[in-house]
Structure 1
């Protein structure tokens, strides 16, 4: 069956009316986050940038585990139908309890454990860094869950402004003010600022959900947590494995080479990730929509949403890649003076992101289309292989080896996941990826 992806196809689905909101939120958030990284690269020591990158990687890993799979599970629970105000029968309350419990547990574990390791000199991190990393991880986990609920209700602006825009712009403004006052900025200052802004965004977003979290009977909602946690196991494993290749790989790189090398890799990788902001914008809209279409059995419209998202994401990434080819050396000269020789590595990472964007929200489709077991196995396979390969190549070939390994794993994972999605959508009936895995 032929599926066309283009303006006419997008006009046939309610995708376009939310796209401008998501695009504006993602673009402004991405630019604010990237400007923060550029300021830290310009006004802090190379080791501070490396510690900042490592702290963010730890926070992302901890928040993924702390979520207990609930950001995806809640999308499956609601399916875009709107959150019921009755707390007891909807299971949204039980999901909220799990999310908060996971967020606080992970935050305390990272903060207390990290500071103890630092005090015992088992970790050479600056004092206070891992404390604030735990605070940031807890806020990010809770914010991710509330954002998923609002997206499932198709309240995209309310979901994305606190999650993507507010804490990034507020953190950037705080760091700029700090620099204007003539004060030195360290990794601890930057991470603590981000942690505070994440919590402010989380409190704001959870207040938006007060109407669907009315605790009429907390005990009855809590009794559903065990069953919901069991049914969310595959989502949880997938969420934990997803950041392994990128974030754990960065930590491994810092251990294998140096903390300064981790900072350089972080700067190059975040520059390359600017190419996928259209994918993340469309994905924020398409994921709950695909869940709703899957539930309604509208396979043809599901195909259109997925293929249109892939088409536009890939086209936008290719155009941005062309700009990076032209202006990449100048960008590195400003962002990372002394590292202009890393330009080929930047192009390699960017090429991997072009492939990632062209395959669209393939991972999200697997999760919302009742193929979470396949998504879990693919995630474990490629992300664990990515960490191992990155570590080996970093030790053997330095930073170029780590970049090559990271790009190879990203491309392989994107292509295989996309091929599985084509089979699920009935576009490649000869593929038997799911049966083999």
Structure 2
């Protein structure tokens, strides 16, 4: 029963995420067609900034609520369940409002002409709330209720709004208008999602007291989860932010489009992580080395073919796909290939991050991730000055590949398994 339930939810998640990947492409394509090229570059810069700020302002509450809501749901501890929900909402709202005020103050006090950036704060708050609610609902295995509002309905709403701008041939289309549409529609959808969840409303309406020791545990745990999530989010989003600061919006837009197209290749690894997470954790707990190796090899081989096929399609059709976003966007074809190669090598390396996070090696993973990300981000400005968007793509792909290979090496040495497409020979550990 548990196995069939997990399989069903994995299939639902895969279908939703696959649909979301297509809709994400369509959403940014529609916005690119609705906005002038400079405005689209500004929107891409602000969206990446908002995505990064949503991670900063959520203080690790997404992963925290997914972890502890699952635990407290299983043991029937409604006091703790309501407590961790309220704990998360309070910190997300506090952090989100603080970021909104800080960003607005910076724009106003510096006299910046980039007034559209004032929408990055509210959009960050909307993203934080929507993701937090989705993570909480996943604890109940309600994948449809958790994922569909943000991943499907919100994107459809933005596509419809962009379509209206295209149809009316609006001359008022701007980055600020696009960001306002994205923000307000997401806040409305998150509010409707909360209104339809009786359990969440009842837990928030009459929260029960929780021990101080439990609140302190949540605080300590959330700090660690916050650090990992910020470093993970820093690479792609800070690359776009740095480009927006150093180059013009017209140059940032094509890179943002190339990044979004290449991210489609990460879908297959994400699906494998969803399907293999419990099996990897269970095999490790049972010290089933062969079972752990089998799951990793099967996952890597399952995603290898579609990821390679996707890379070939991008190589063949990359230029016309980029032209759909706007005239001259095919200038990002080489960066698109570089970014896609990074995602391809990451996929062939297998679920390295998942293995380290589910086998008690979170801290070594965090150290590897932090050191490599900081190194490549430090080199990013120089790479942009020297190579433009191609230099930025090279740094971002290098960050992905180096992190994956170092994690691969760590797993090979410490766990004696190969998480990639080539399985480890049973006697290989003797030669370490």
TM-score, length of structure 1 as denominator length: 0.84
Q: How is 1:89-168 mapped onto 2 (pairs within 5 angstroms)?
A: 91-121=80-110, 123-125=112-114, 127=115, 129-168=116-155
| 1:272 paired residue number | 262
Change in 2 beyond 3 A, CA 1:84/1:326: same
Give the deviation of 1:286 after TM superposition: 3.9
For 1:229 and 1:194, how far apart are their aligned partners in 2? 31
Whether 1:370 and 2:344 are equivalent positions in the alignment is no
Partner SS state of residue 327, structure 2: coil
2:49 to 54, 58, 81: 58
Change in 2 beyond 3 A, CA 1:208/1:375: farther
| 1:5 paired residue number | none
Change in 2 beyond 3 A, CA 1:37/1:69: same
Q: Deviations over 1:44-87 (max 9, x none)?
A: 22221122112111211122122322333344435689555542
Change in 2 beyond 3 A, CA 1:313/1:207: farther
TM-score, length of structure 2 as denominator length: 0.85
Q: How is 1:17-416 mapped onto 2 (pairs within 5 angstroms)?
A: 17-77=8-68, 82-83=73-74, 85-88=76-79, 91-121=80-110, 123-125=112-114, 127=115, 129-183=116-170, 184-207=172-195, 210-211=198-199, 214=203, 217-220=207-210, 224-287=214-277, 290=280, 302-416=292-406
Change in 2 beyond 3 A, CA 1:342/1:138: closer
Give the deviation of 1:221 after TM superposition: 6.3
RMSD across aligned positions (CA): 3.0
- State how many pairs are aligned: 417
Contact 2:332–2:389 (8 Å) recurs in 1: no
Give the deviation of 1:170 after TM superposition: 1.6
Which runs of 5 or more structure 1 residues have no equivalent in the other structure?
A: 1-11
Which runs of 5 or more structure 2 residues have no equivalent in the other structure?
A: 419-427
Q: Deviations over 1:155-199 (max 9, x none)?
A: 322222124222112211122123323324221122112212322
Give the deviation of 1:329 after TM superposition: 2.2
Mean Cα deviation higher: 354-363 or 70-79:
70-79
